[in-house]
Amino acid sequence: MSGLDLDTLAPSVAWTGDRIEIIDQTRLPDEFEIIELVSVDAVVDAICRLAVRGAPAIGACGALGIVIGLDERHPEDLPAARSALDELVEVIGSARPTAVNLRWAVERVRDAALEGDTADRLRRMALDEALRIIAEDKDACSRIGEAGRAELTGMTNIMTHCNTGRLATAGWGTALGVIYAKAAAGEPVRVLASETRPLLQGARLTIWELEDAGIDVTLMPDSADAAAMSVGKVDAVIVGADRIAANGDTANKIGTFSHAVNARYAGIPFYVAASLSTFDTAIASGDEITIELRSDDELTAWRGIPTAPAGASVWNPAFDITPAGLITAIFTEVGVLHPPFDVSIPAAVEHAER
């Protein structure tokens, strides 16, 4: 693991000069395919159908999507370019409502681009800012990994949920970034990954990614977490986040809340790993987070094969909210945040903005 170089591996999102390249995560683990996105419609489709997924990766894709949109529209002058920017922010920024990184990234690109005094300079500044967002996420992932590694000294058996590694970010990842940091430091680490129903991001993506990196990983059903904790298979749980409120309430992939409840009952620490771009201090609590509802088809069929009776009533939330009171600490690029989160989170955000 110490010889693993991230730069030798295909990134989840990349800019190739005039288009976006992404790893199509819907095809893993059966096929490893890189697809090109050359239109706004393609960018929105990739985000909506989870070809690109993970809050930081979605943000990176959306940021570059603004540039794709400007190229696609070819605004003739500065007023037309500024109008196109506003339109693109709404079209791309609304592709998925729960992950705060997407809206944050496209608005950041727009705000930077508005400093351009011609249509060409506006486009150039949009691209520069999008690439800056990607570079910052790589750095944040490294810092998150080291912060988590130090906190988890002596802990070997780590449970995780969904996928939070290099497929979900521009760098090593958030929760999996901690795993990579431990392995790179020569510390023993074993990962227990839940399958993550209904789209199996844990089974399809986390298992593939960690095996690809040579890290010891075992797959389990989502519903086996309490049993695993009760027999000593888990030292700590680490998950990522799609949005974190000012009080620490955390939106993450559906099933996260259950893992947190079971960890509390078992007396096992439950950690969240996220970059500061995932924090939304404009909302006081998780009650204000919109939870995306996914298609019924994700539960009633799998790859075209029916798994439920036709016409079955379905409730398919993509995320749930883990209350701050169940979270032991949050790993960020500026260090480890401890409760009370309504104090430590604003302080961290303010420090980063200086």
Task: Tell me whether residue 1 is in a domain.
Answer: no
Q: Which of 72, 106, 139 is the last residue of a domain?
A: 139
**Average pLDDT along the chain:** 93
d(CA 321, CA 89): 26
Residue 345 sits in the same domain as residue 262: yes
Does any domain span residue 37? yes
Decide if pLDDT at 6 tops 80. no
67 and 162 share one domain: no
Identify whether 68 is part of a domain: yes
Is 76 buried (19+), middle (13-18) or exposed (0-12) by CB count in 10 A? exposed
Query: In the annotation, is 287 catalytic?
Result: no
Summarize pLDDT for 199-243 with one digit per residue, the tens: 899 999 999 999 988 999 999 999 999 999 999 999 999 999 999
- Token digits of residue 249: 């309430």
Are residues 187 and 90 both part of a single domain?
no
Give 267-298 pLDDT, tens digit per residue: 999 999 999 988 999 999 999 999 999 999 99
Please count the structural domains in the chain: 2
Which CATH number characterizes residue 12's domain? 1.20.120.420
CB contact at 8 A, 66 and 113: yes
Give the amino acid at 263.
Answer: A
Last residue of a domain, one of 117, 139, 161: 139
CATH number, domain with residue 216: 3.40.50.10470
Task: Give the structural domain span for 54.
Answer: 6-139
* pLDDT score for 153: 95
Residues 28 and 50 in one domain: yes
Question: Which residues, in sequence order, are CB contacts of 19 under 8 Å at separation 6+?
Answer: 36, 37, 38, 68
Catalytic entry in 222, 242, 249, 320: 242
Pair (148, 278) in one structural domain? yes
Indicate whether 95 and 196 sit together in one domain: no
